[in-house]
Amino acid sequence: MNKPQAFPSNHHYNDRKEPTRNEGMSLLDYFAGQALGGYTSDNDVFASCKVIADKKGIEVKKFIAVSCYNFAEAMLKEREKHNE
């Protein structure tokens, strides 16, 4: 799987005022961040995650972080199917 970027730009300059390319964040990180917003914006979802994390014996932050990246990876796999 290639590593698509979110928000790449050619409109940045280094200290010597030379144009450089800013690769932006990875699309994986962008999708994970979007999922994180969903997890943390709803108290009921967050509470459910806390219950699951407690049962697994891990911190809720770690449970949510792993879940966000799992969603992001699934989205990238699905995206690849549609770009073929």
Q: What is the pTM of this model?
A: 0.73
User: Per residue in 13-55, pLDDT tens?
Assistant: 667 777 666 667 888 999 999 999 998 898 999 999 999 999 9
Q: Residue 12 pLDDT > 70, yes or no?
A: no
pLDDT band at 82 (very low <50, low <70, confident <90, very high): confident
How much is the pLDDT for 64?
A: 96
How much is the pLDDT for 21?
A: 65
3-class DSSP assignment, residue 48: helix
